[in-house]
């Protein structure tokens, strides 16, 4: 089904569908590590990259690819890379976009492990980092160095909920030859599309809103351009942090109710905020 002109809720149900040979109404779980070939010639084409056939689930799998297509459509990106967790997404991004001696500027209130893995682990390999309050974009300008390669923003930040102006940061990043990476976990594609605002890479911990049922750990990376997509996918394949087919199926199932869940969450939050605002014991 072509969902290019469809609304967000229609895309939640139909984007990413595959033409299953048995006509399954839902995307099946292709729970297999390897795939058979019809001939040696077909295998040779797959391994040479001349065919889009499947070889090995670490490289690609129909169930996982369906989820990747769906999230890429929801984020208006070129394509997506599903991984085993949100931290697998962050690690893949770090290792793909940074080399020894490179510098990253990031939100000081980002998800804790995203910062700690940089400061406690990747520092051993010569990665440099600066963490600042990015709600004031002037702080970003001051933090950029000649070796800055990536600006990494989480907005709303976790857990402070501070907001960063993505359009302004995208302009700064590109004027200084940097890539802009955005963690869009807290908003989800339903409330925010960072690629439309100028970012180069967006990622999610799908453990949170996208899956929505607290029963799956998962992550995904979406790129704006094809070149970055291949760079990041090759790193994911080499690291081996791919998603499992059953994991992908569960996220696809949870994803269908994303807008309903967020609508209810925002309605409830507004009621709580109004109650606290009007309470005599709350300043």
pLDDT in tens, 249-279: 999 999 999 999 999 999 999 999 999 999 9
Which pLDDT value is given to residue 249? 96
Which pLDDT value is given to residue 15? 82
| Each residue's pLDDT tens digit, 34-78 | 999 989 998 898 888 888 889 999 999 999 999 999 999 999 999
Dist CA 266 CA 213 (whole Å): 17
Of 12, 11, 7, 10, nearest in space to 212 by CA: 12
Bridge partners of 81, per DSSP, are 221
| Each residue's pLDDT tens digit, 135-158 | 999 999 999 999 999 999 999 998
Q: Contact, 239 vs 221, CB < 8 A? A: no
Alpha carbon distances (Å) from 22 to 19, 28, 32, 57, 137 = 8, 10, 18, 21, 53
Mean pLDDT, the chain, integer: 95
First-to-last alpha carbon distance for the chain, in angstroms, is: 52
Q: 161's torsion region: left (phi>0), alpha (psi -120 to 50) or beta?
A: left
> CATH classification of 8-30+61-278 is 2.120.10.10, yes or no?
no
Specify the pTM. 0.94
Which pLDDT value is given to residue 47? 87
């Amino acid at each position: 089904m072509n969902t290019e002109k469809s609304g967000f809720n229609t895309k939640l149900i139909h984007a990413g569908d595959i033409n299953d040979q048995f006509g399954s109404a839902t995307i099946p779980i292709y729970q297999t590590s390897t795939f058979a070939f019809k001939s040696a010639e077909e295998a040779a084409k797959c391994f040479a990259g001349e065919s889009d056939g499947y070889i090995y689930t670490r490289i690609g799998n129909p169930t996982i690819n369906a989820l990747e297509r769906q999230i890429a459509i929801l984020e208006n990106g070129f394509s997506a890379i599903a991984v085993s967790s949100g931290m697998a997404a962050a690690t893949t991004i770090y290792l793909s976009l940074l080399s020894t001696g490179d510098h990253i500027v990031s939100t000081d209130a980002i998800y804790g492990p995203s910062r700690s893995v940089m400061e406690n682990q990747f520092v051993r390999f010569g990665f440099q980092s600066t963490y600042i309050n990015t709600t004031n974009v002037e702080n970003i300008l001051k933090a950029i160095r000649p070796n800055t390669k990536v600006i990494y923003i989480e907005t709303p930040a976790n857990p402070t909920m501070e907001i960063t102006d993505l359009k302004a940061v995208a302009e700064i990043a590109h004027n200084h030859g940097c890539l802009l990476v955005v963690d869009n976990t807290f908003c989800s594609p339903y409330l925010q599309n960072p690629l439309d605002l100028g970012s180069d890479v967006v990622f999610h911990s799908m453990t949170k809103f996208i899956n929505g049922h607290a029963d799956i750990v998962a992550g995904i990376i979406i790129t704006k351009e094809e070149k970055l997509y291949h760079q990041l996918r090759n790193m994911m394949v080499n690291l081996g942090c791919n998603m499992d087919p059953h994991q992908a199926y569960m996220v696809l199932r949870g994803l269908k109710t994303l807008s309903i869940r967020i609508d209810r969450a925002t309605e409830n939050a507004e009621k709580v905020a109004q109650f606290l605002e009007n309470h005599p014991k709350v300043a």
